[in-house]
Amino acid sequence: YLELIKTKLPQTLKILSIFEDHLQNYRLYFQDHGWDAEPEVAAALADRSQGLGELYVSYWVDASHWLQSIQPQWEWKKLRFLTLTSRL
């Protein structure tokens, strides 16, 4: 997914919505099997999202990884809506 995020998304993209479907009883599933969200993917998505107006990501990256990857020089001047999921 790293290459997709870093090089394949058009620069003109304004809205990105990603939903990874899991079992309906996802809380039970996560308790038993864990969640394989990769911090590197979250960091790449956080970086790439700087030009977006809306970002919605469910069960694909963990919000804590996204937030921890933020660099001081990054700015989200256009971002109006942000939705992320996290394993709490």
Which pLDDT score, from 0 to 100, does residue 20 have? 78
Q: Is the pTM of this model over 0.85?
A: no
- Give the strand order in the sheet containing 54-58: 15-19, 54-58, 81-84
Distance CA 42, CA 58 (A): 12
Which pLDDT score, from 0 to 100, does residue 26 have? 55
- Give me the residue spans of the domains in the chain: 2-84
- The label of the residue with tokens 């899991």 reads 22
pLDDT per position as a tens digit, 41-57: 999 999 999 999 999 99
What are the helix (H) ranges across the chain?
2-3, 26-33, 39-48, 63-68
